[in-house]
Amino acid sequence: MAKVLVVTSGKGGVGKTTSTAALGAALAQNGSNVVVIDFDVGLRNLDLVMGAERRVVYDLINVVQGDAKLAQALIRDKRLENLSLLPASQTRDKDALTEDGVARVIEELREKFDWIICDSPAGIERGATLAMRHADMAVVVTNPEVSSVRDSDRIIGLLDSKTARAESGERMPKHLLLTRYDQGRAERGEMLKVDDVLEILSIPLLGIIPESEEVLRASNVGSPVTINSPTSAPARAYAEAARRLAGEDIAVTVPSEKKGFFGKLFGRRAAA
Amino acid sequence: MNLLSIFNKRTSAPVARDRLQILLAHERSYSGQSDLVTALREEILAVIAKHVNVDRDKVLVKMDRGDAVSTLEVDIEIPTPTKPKLAASA
């Protein structure tokens, strides 16, 4: 049965779009049919991170308003044929996204895909509430940093009150994805630890994505990190998170980069 | 990891710069004409529909925005007219 997943955070810049692309690609790499939808009307970026920016013709608003059929607006990924993108509109007014229209599009996507991943805009305004509205589950992307944790707490409150699921009295499953984590700094007491964040937000942990150069490198070239550099630490962390989403029970670890002799030497020295 | 991948890794920033330059050049020049593709599709379809029957659901529009040129690909499926009788074609 199709699952609608919202990737949200409240705060901007914590890695929602990067995580949407990486989780979507990882689920597709495991054989699922996946569509990722950009809900950030006017400031779309999922197309750029996925490397499809030159191929956008129609967008979510065109489909909602009936200017284009869903099949015409979906952009098939060039690397994974079971991964598709539905872009946001860059120029239209965001009020063109209606709740009924979004509901219709999601229902139609449920027929065709196993996973429908909604990339939420930052903030708690209309775009963010529409992205979470029809979700069956949520991934809350959080950095180990005070303002991000606070905003995540706010978003968790909205997930439990403003979604269709919450309004019908059902539980909304929420998972924490901790991104840009630096184990060395956390061990030295310079950064919130995983347990600190988990204790404050009290939602289950989906994964810990280590801070890594590979993430920027992947967005530079327009390829999800799980495709661009599948053996890198963040890619392995995203791949494991995707397997947990699909129901596998795997212990959460912080994958680390494979270091050479000098890397190990300096890595240890820095952590001491 | 081979030499090529090391080389590629060093050069991801120029790729990012090139992608942004192409994208932004298009976004700046087309601001205010967000529905250009929709308008083109409608007019192209109208011309073709004058002569043959077109199923509007069987129209695919693809875009590839390039550095020097962009291509707009409109793929219209035209139903085959009733098959000519074998005797007539023989």
CATH number reported for the structural domain that contains residue A30 in this entry: 3.40.50.300
What Cα–Cα distance (Å) separates residue A59 from each residue in A73, A96, A256?
A: 6, 12, 38
8 A C-beta contact, residue A48 and residue A131:
no
Q: Which residues of B touch A72 (CB under 8 A)?
A: 59-61
CA distance B62 to chain A (A): 6
| Residue B76 pLDDT grade (very low, low, confident, very high; cuts 50, 70, 90) | confident
Q: Please tell me the distance from the alpha carbon of residue A226 to that of residue A108, in angstroms, as a whole number.
A: 27
Q: Grade residue B86 by pLDDT with cuts at 50, 70 and 90.
A: low
Q: Is residue A271 part of a domain?
A: no
Instruction: Examine the pLDDT at A26 and tell me if it is beyond 90.
Output: yes
What amino acid occupies position B1?
M
| A72:B15 CB<8 A | no
Find out whether A183 and A254 touch, Cβ atoms under 8 Å: yes
Best of A220, A228, A229, A258 to mutate (most B CBs within 10 Å, chain B)? A220
* Distance between CA atoms of residues A158 and A178, nearest Å: 19
Q: How many domains does chain B have?
A: 1
pLDDT value of position A270: 42
A72–B62 CB contact, under 8 Å: no
pLDDT exceeds cutoff 50 at A184: yes
- pLDDT (tens digit per residue) in A47-89: 999 999 999 999 999 999 988 899 999 999 999 999 999 999 9
Domain span holding position B27: 16-76
d(CA A248, CA A39): 28
pLDDT of residue B63: 83
> Domain for residue B47, yes or no?
yes
Residue B73 pLDDT grade (very low, low, confident, very high; cuts 50, 70, 90)? confident
Interface with chain A: mutation pick from B19, B20, B67, B69, highest number of A CBs within 10 Å: B19
| pLDDT for res A271 | 39
Within chain B, strands assigned E span 59-64, 71-76
Q: Look at residue A257 and tell me if it is in a domain.
A: no
A20 located within any domain: yes
Domain of A117? Answer: 3-246
Specify if B24 maps to a domain: yes
Where is pLDDT greater, at A239 or B64? A239
Residue A268 has pLDDT above 50, yes or no: no
Which whole number is the average pLDDT over A40-46? 95
The answer to whether position B55 is within a domain reads yes
Q: Domain count for chain A, please give it.
A: 1
Whole-complex ipTM: 0.81
Q: What is the pLDDT of residue A141?
A: 98
Interface of B with A in 11-70 (CB under 8 A): 12-13, 15-16, 19, 22-23, 27, 31, 34-35, 37-38, 57, 59-66
Range with lowest mean pLDDT among A9-13, A107-111, A167-171, B30-34: B30-34
State the Cα–Cα distance between residues A135 and A165, nearest whole angstrom: 7
Percent of chain A with pLDDT over 90: 88
Question: B72: distance to nearest CA of chain A, Å?
Answer: 9
